[in-house]
Structure 1
Amino acid sequence: MKYKLVTLLLITAFGFSHAQDSESIRPKLVLQITVDQFRGDLPTRFLDRLGEGGLRYLIENGTYYSNAHYRHANTETAVGHATLFTGADPSRHGLVGNNWIDPSTGDVVYNTEDARYHIIGKDQKPHNGVSPNNILSTTIGDELVISNAGQSRVFSVSVKDRGAIIPGGHAGKAFWYSKSSGKFVTSTYYYDEYPQWAQDWNDSGPADQYRGKTWDLIQDPSTYYAKDLDDRPYEADFQPLGKTFPHQYGDDKYLYTRLSLSPAGDELTLDFAKTLMKNENVGHGVNTDFLAISFSSTDYIGHLFGPSSLETEDNILRLDRNLADLFSYVDKTVGLKNTLIVLSADHGAPEAPEYMTEIGMEAGRFDFTYFREQGPLNEILMERYGRDDLIATHSHPYLYLNMAAIAEAKLDLEEVENFIADEVMKIPGIAYAQTKSDLLEGRISNAPLQVQIRRNFHPVRSGNIHMIQEQYWFLHSTDEGQKMGLEGIAAIHGSPWAYDTYVPIFFAGNGIKAQTITRRVSPTDIAPTISNYLNIKFPSGSIGNPLKEVFIKENN
């Protein structure tokens, strides 16, 4: 005990760059896993029914941070993934949302959009190219490659393009799932042609094994907490997947889309990742390799059915099996003792407003187009300024103003922003609105909401007014849901409230000590921790601090 205390004090006093003792084994592989929309309570919520070797392995054998929260205001997928792999807030890594508006053109910019690099095998089209170049900071993978002149290799896999491209950084190779073909694709940023092993995997058609099949409960129905919650009116009804078990995958042209919205998406991601590991000999290179895997099914299922649904409960049990399969494969091919495993989430999740009203909470939803189309705000602007075109659009969490109209009317931008912000805060369901002018001039306090907004703010990409919804109010929907023709979805994240900022953080393998840490930490601390663990420099935008408990080895 005395030795452990001395070790901790020395680490705290002198930093972490040499925290690993001489007996520690430098990992051959860093495996960083992101589980999309994996709120901080979900790893242990169904603990009594978890199997061996998956989540239970992390909980019982790793360092588990059970009180981790994002510090920024807009808890969306691209934002969280960038923070996980850069250690930076959005103000520094630049991804302030899944989308933002280019002030020079007025066009919507997707977070990984890059017209210069098209999907291999597809014709080049406007807004269809992708790369990591919108990330303004280096990532942990970038720094690893820089540290040894490219001896380390970085790979990234996900169902979502943003779930693969962002973690892969600028120096990695990324693959993601195509909802139109059922294949894993990449862009000309990474390759001129598909590697032969990837082409072979795609040609074998793994997604087609699900044709005509169903998603059934994986355990005895009587054991599920949510067994009586399988058909709630606010759940999304995407046919033939439907709202109740068994969920039909179908056998039409939308099969591959439905697979991505179910546990099948994670299963395909796992199979492709294992194939990549085998064929690229990951973990057996000259130096430490880096593999990022983002499992997306938890997010899609949470959106469609809610985080306290029967579907989410079953998916967590399936995720547990997938993790056990992955860890077993890593152990056989690289060795868990040779692998540093990191697992966290890009954001948390809210309960559906209707579910919260059942327990007495005031909650609600804004229509998807409420701030995008002509409405009450425009009428107020007409009354005040004689124009109803001063708001250009809403791209969560921002209102972007029509700068040309404001200039044409010779209006003072700051005054217009303040007026609109004041009017927005009068709308039921809106908690706060912060103007860009006040942020640029530093006219904000250290109140928690204002600090979270500031950490999300980029002077070019952020809009004129950052809107914050009341707790358990939904301010927007998903563009993907709209494209699928869904009238609504059960749940949507993207707020600064604790249910959306709350995520787990695990470090395991490579001799990491088994312990649970309850002090409050942030996902911005993950990249600096990995950097110190590998004795490399921090990503360029990093603001986090190394987590000292990770450096206390099991044998200390």
Structure 2
Amino acid sequence: MKAKLFPVVMIPLMVLVFSAWAVAGTVNEKPKLVLQITIDQMRGDFPMRYKDRLGEGGFRYLMEKGTHYINAHFQHADTETPIGHAALFTGTYPAYNGIVAGNWFDMDKGRIIYNCEDDRYPMIGKEPAKGKGRAPTNLLSSTIGDELVISNNGQSRIFSVSIKDRGAILPGGHTGKAFWYSKSDGSFVSSTYYYKEYPGWVKQWNAKKFADKYKDASWELLHDVSTYVFGKDDDRPFEVDMFGLGTTFPHPVKGDSKYFYASLIATPFGDELTADFAKTLIKAEKLGQGKHTDFMAISFSVTDYIGHVFGPSSLEAEDNVLRVDRLLADLFRFIDDQVGLDQTLIIVSADHGMCEAPEYMQSLGFEVGRLTSETIVKGTIKDGLKARLGVHGDVIRLFEYPYVYLNEEEIKKTKYSIAEIETAVAEEIIKIPGIIGAVTRTDLLKGSFAPTPVNMTILNNFHLKRSGHIHVIADQFWYFYYEMETTTKIAAIHCSPWTYDTYVPLFFAGYGIPARRISRPVTPYDIAATIATCLEIKPPSGSVGNPLVEVLKGK
């Protein structure tokens, strides 16, 4: 039998990978706890923008004591919250993990479904209701937490907490326990996928009604307004008065409002509640106290809501970053007391970045505007189809960002193929001011598209059974309207493949991680592969990331 020889070019790579793998176990073996924090909508430049104003122990700890990657970008086109959270923990694209949008049209069910929807698993203590069940069953890939559980037959424990259900469910994976905030009563809730009934400590925390302490509270500036970059711009016309919070400081939280519990998500108080619940969980479940590594995921959602309501370059967003900095410092002190920072592998990143409000960009001289979903399927496009092909607009089923879904049954009644209708619709859409791209499903399947960086992100976003027939891309700094918890239109949005939306911070700290700043391009998909190497387990099933050698060399 002939010996098989590796090509010479492979040898340096193999030495590097195996050396990194071997090094991972040299500092106190494996960490007792992996703490992966996601700060929803924390664009990559925000911590550096306000660096001189940061306190000790939060972002400054991550920058000065950890490894800071300053050039981390996602490589998928639709930079929404569920997509980013799924990518961070599966280490892969929407094309592989299946979370292609916030919502998508299910061909079999004939309706739009939510990314974490599963009616088989109603909320604990609630009657089943259509569209209200929650579970990670739409996630097609394993997460890094799942792989940890698989590696030791369930002896590691995985937990996930967020204000948003999707911010907790997707990071928790298939084997974790997830909790999220109820905007109706201020409690943290879960579904029957995870428990038949709530653990005692959850019941106790909810019974104390911690959210009620914020009734008639006021969100005020941490410092004198003159010290803020955006101190002179507290009231701009594009800012939104959501939940009665107003558009200028101080922002009153009205305790007698029917929106009281919901309003907390658009103030720093929402993150404070999340942190308190997470710390209670860590103590009650004794995470990091056993023989096997435990995993805790926390997603802080408030930065996202504030960015949407006031814009990312606003006084509110600036004050919030400073408050998140304090929140992290307090959390890290808690972790040091409970587990030890040297025994905890800490990862901090974000699910996406953020675009500026279009009106703000207009004030700087950019010719941009706002688009609505209706723009994509409005009468002019249907009129164009009729003029070109003689077909009625019924061939367009709906637009659910970022996809146009066609009605294949109606297309069969015409003399045209699905591919021909796709092309015609895409060519009509591209005529709309503010739209720069419309790539068809057929072109993606055949590979018959220009392999530009943006088009490759569209391919990474494409899943055969979930994506629509046409992926629509708005031009830079243009805005697609969409609705949040209310029908109020909002100030700013993300969801594009442009760098302001793909750019996120990426920090590794604790567990002997070296202090260094890395400028080479990396992706958040690399996180899961790096954790896997540190824990000496296999990466998630669809992983496309690479272990970050700068982190591993520090062991």
TM-score (normalised: structure 1): 0.95
Tell me if the contact between 1:353 and 1:365 (Cα under 8 Å) persists in the aligned partners: yes
- Asked if 1:330 corresponds to 2:332, the answer is no
Whether the 8 Å CA contact 1:151–1:285 is kept in 2: the answer is no
3-state DSSP of counterpart to 2:512: coil
Query: Which residue matches 1:139?
Result: 143
> Aligned residue for 2:528?
527
Say whether residues 1:32 and 2:33 are aligned partners. Answer: no
Task: Indicate whether 1:437 and 2:438 are aligned.
Answer: no
Maintained 8 Å contact 2:28/2:343 = no
Deviation at 1:19, TM superposition (A): 2.5
Deviation per CA, 1:151-183, whole angstroms, max 9, x where unpaired? 100000000000000000000000000111110
CA distance in 1, matches of 2:25, 2:281: 32
**How do 1:45-444 residues align onto structure 2 when only pairs under 5 Å count?**
45-251=49-255, 252-371=257-376, 374-383=378-387, 384-444=389-449
Question: How many equivalent pairs are there?
Answer: 542
Q: Distance in 2 between matches of 1:538 and 1:126?
A: 35
Change (3 A) 1:239 1:166: closer
Aligned partner letter, 2:99: L
- The question of whether the paired residues in 2 share the 8 Å contact of 1:25 and 1:510 is answered with no
CA distance in 1, matches of 2:44, 2:167: 19
Taking the aligned partners of 1:13 and 1:530, their CA distance within structure 2 comes to 14
Residue of structure 2 equivalent to 1:492: 493
Partner of 1:3: none
Distance 2:145 2:353 in 1: 24
**Matches of 2:286 and 2:459, distance apart in 1:** 43
Given that residues 35 and 296 in structure 1 are in contact (C-alpha distance below 8 angstroms), is that contact kept between their aligned partners in structure 2?
Answer: yes
Q: Which amino acid aligns with 1:496?
A: P
User: How far apart are 1:105 and its partner, in Å?
Assistant: 2.8
Q: Is the 8 A contact 1:132 1:169 kept in 2?
A: yes
Deviation of 1:17 (Å): 2.4
Give the TM-score normalised by the residue count of structure 2. Answer: 0.96
Q: Deviations over 1:204-228 (max 9, x none)?
A: 0000001111111111211010011
Cα distance in structure 1, aligned partners of 2:120 and 2:244: 37
Q: Secondary structure at the match of 1:369?
A: helix
Give the conservation status (yes or no) of the 8 Å contact 2:43–2:503. yes
Q: For residue 10 of structure 1, report the CA deviation from its aligned partner.
A: 8.4
Q: Which one-letter code corresponds to 1:70 in the other structure?
A: F
Runs (4+) of structure 1 exceeding 6 A deviation are: none
SS state of the match for residue 276, structure 1? helix
CA contact (8 A) 1:298 1:312 kept: yes
Shift of residue 240, structure 1, vs aligned partner: 1.8
Structure-2 separation of matches of 1:411 and 1:530? 50
How far, CA to CA, are the matches of 2:511 and 2:58 in structure 1? 16
Output the CA distance in 1 between the equivalents of 2:334 and 2:294: 16
Deviation at 1:467, TM superposition (A): 0.6
2:307 aligned counterpart, secondary structure: helix
Cα contact 1:350–1:492 (8 A) shared by 2: yes
> What SS is found at the alignment partner of 1:437?
helix
State the alpha-carbon separation in 2 of the partners of residues 463 and 15 from structure 1.
Answer: 44
8 Å CA contact retained: 1:25, 1:338:
no
Q: Give the 3 Å change call, closer, same or farther, for CA 150–21 of structure 1 in structure 2.
A: closer
Matching residue's letter, 2:511: N
CA distance in 2, matches of 1:215, 1:312: 12
Could you give the per-residue CA deviations for residues 425-454 of structure 1, whole angstroms, max 9, x where no partner exists? 111100111000111122123211111110
Q: Gaps spanning 5+ residues in structure 1: where?
A: 1-7
Structure 1 position 537 matched with structure 2 position 538? yes
Question: Unaligned 5+ residue runs, structure 2?
Answer: 1-11
Task: Note if contact 1:31-1:339 (Cα within 8 Å) is conserved in structure 2.
Answer: yes
Contact 2:27 2:511 in 1 (8 A): no
* In structure 1, C-alpha distance between the alignment counterparts of 2:428 and 2:553, rounded to whole Å: 53
Are the equivalent residues in 2 in contact too, given 1:74–1:456 (CA < 8 A)?
Answer: yes
| Conserved 8 A contact 1:340-1:508 | yes
For the pair 1:501 / 2:502, whether they are aligned, the reply is yes
Supply the AA of the counterpart residue of 1:361.
F
Amino acid paired to 1:522: T
Secondary structure, in 3 states, of the residue corresponding to 1:152? coil
- Indicate the residue corresponding to 1:546 in structure 2: 547
TM superposition shift of 1:388:
1.8
Distance apart, 1:353 and its partner CA: 0.8
CA drift at 1:239: 4.3
Q: Report the 3-state secondary structure (helix = DSSP H, G, I; strand = E; otherwise coil) of the residue aligned with 2:355.
A: coil
Shift of 1:56: 0.6
Q: Partner of 2:4 in structure 1?
A: none
SS in 1 for 2:394: coil
Hey, what's the Cα distance between the residues in 2 that align with 1:414 and 1:295?
A: 42
What CA deviation, in whole Å up to 9, does each residue of 1:132-165 have, x standing for no partner?
Answer: 0111000000000011111100000000000000
The aligned residue for residue 470 of structure 1 is 475
Amino acid at match of 2:347: V
